[in-house]
């Protein structure tokens, strides 16, 4: 199936105020298939802003990376269904019971209340983390192994996919033999851009070629002097890279 580059691009609305986010949504609405609302904007603007975007026809990836006891995460998942988000995520480190109960609660709620079922995605290892970061929190593994293990666990627990660095797409595909399992990759930077705090980065072209289903891009677009132009040039790069895949 041919997929346009827009249908793979998720833009992260990592800004301080709903006003800034609204402006970006207005300017960038046609460039992406989804907008990511994470901890910063959610803490500032709350579920009202998520509802506003959904009511305006935007699809939302609610990136709050839930990590708590199974009952609490499953309950938060139920509220994410009611908010109308298309994707939300949990930390795979919360374990299989947490993930399984959340996936079940989401399916049950969507069915019972006649709502769309969001996809539930696991965060494996943050793309800002490297082996030293894992080591300092007592994980005696390297990111690659940790990502494979957690992706496998997320799949076994009924989740729909993972967030992983574009460098790890092949590892995830090898760990999870299921073409429907989606991979969302942050840590994407046009060749000319700075890496900010991301340690494991790839260009948009490389990320598309790696076989990621979605690319999440924040600062390279939203902090650009002309965000629409930045988004357009990223889409063109994705299109060129993927012309044999779309």
Residues that bind ligand C5P (CB under 6 A): 12, 14, 36, 38, 63, 123, 126-127, 163, 186-187, 196, 198, 216-220
Q: At what angle do helices 39-55 and 18-28 cross, to 10 degrees?
A: 50
Complex with ligand C5P: residue 61 or 109, whichever CB lies closer:
61
Complex with ligand C5P: residue 126 or 231, whichever CB lies closer:
126
* CA pair distance 223, 209, nearest whole angstrom: 25
* CA pair distance 48, 229, nearest whole angstrom: 29
Active site residue 8: no
Q: How far is the CB of 22 from ligand C5P (least distance, A)?
A: 18
Q: How far is the CB of 223 from ligand C5P (least distance, A)?
A: 8
Q: How far is the CB of 123 from ligand C5P (least distance, A)?
A: 5
* CA pair distance 216, 186, nearest whole angstrom: 5
Which candidate in 3, 65, 145, 199 is catalytic?
65
Q: How far is the CB of 89 from ligand C5P (least distance, A)?
A: 7
Count of Cβ atoms closer than 10 Å to residue 78 Cβ: 17
Taking CB atoms, the residue at the shortest distance from ligand C5P is 218
Q: Which residues of 115-144 are buried (b: 16+ CB within 10 A; e: fewer)?
A: eeebbbbbbbbbbebebeebeeeebeeebb
**Residues whose CB falls within 8 Å of the CB of residue 221, separated by 6 or more in sequence, listed in order:** 11, 28, 227, 230, 231, 234
Complex with ligand C5P: residue 110 or 211, whichever CB lies closer:
211
Residue 244, judged by CB atoms within 10 A of its CB (0-12, 13-18, 19+), counts as exposed
Catalytic residues, by residue number, are 65
């Amino acid at each position: 199936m041919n997929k346009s580059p827009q249908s793979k691009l998720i833009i992260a609305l990592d800004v301080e105020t709903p006003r800034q986010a609204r402006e970006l949504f207005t300017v960038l609405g046609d460039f992406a298939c989804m907008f990511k609302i994470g901890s910063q904007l959610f803490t500032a603007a709350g579920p009202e802003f998520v509802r506003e975007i959904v009511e305006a026809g935007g699809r939302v990836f609610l990136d709050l990376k839930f990590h708590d006891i199974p009952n609490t995460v499953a309950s938060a998942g139920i509220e994410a269904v009611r908010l109308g988000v298309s994707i939300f995520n949990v930390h795979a480190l919360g374990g299989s019971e947490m993930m399984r109960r959340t996936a079940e609660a989401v399916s049950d709620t969507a069915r019972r209340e006649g709502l769309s079922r969001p996809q539930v995605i696991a965060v494996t290892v943050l793309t800002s983390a490297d082996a030293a970061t894992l080591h300092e929190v007592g994980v005696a593994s390297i990111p690659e192994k940790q990502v494979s293990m957690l992706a496998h666990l997320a799949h076994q627990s009924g989740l729909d996919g993972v967030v992983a660095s574009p460098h790890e797409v092949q590892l995830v595909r090898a760990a999870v033999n299921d073409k429907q399992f989606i991979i969302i990759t942050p840590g994407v930077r046009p060749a000319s851009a700075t890496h900010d705090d991301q340690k494991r980065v790839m260009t948009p072209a490389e990320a598309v070629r790696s076989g990621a289903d979605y690319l999440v891009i924040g600062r390279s677009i939203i902090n650009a002097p002309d965000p629409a132009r930045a988004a357009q040039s990223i889409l063109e790069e994705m299109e060129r890279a993927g012309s044999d895949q779309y």
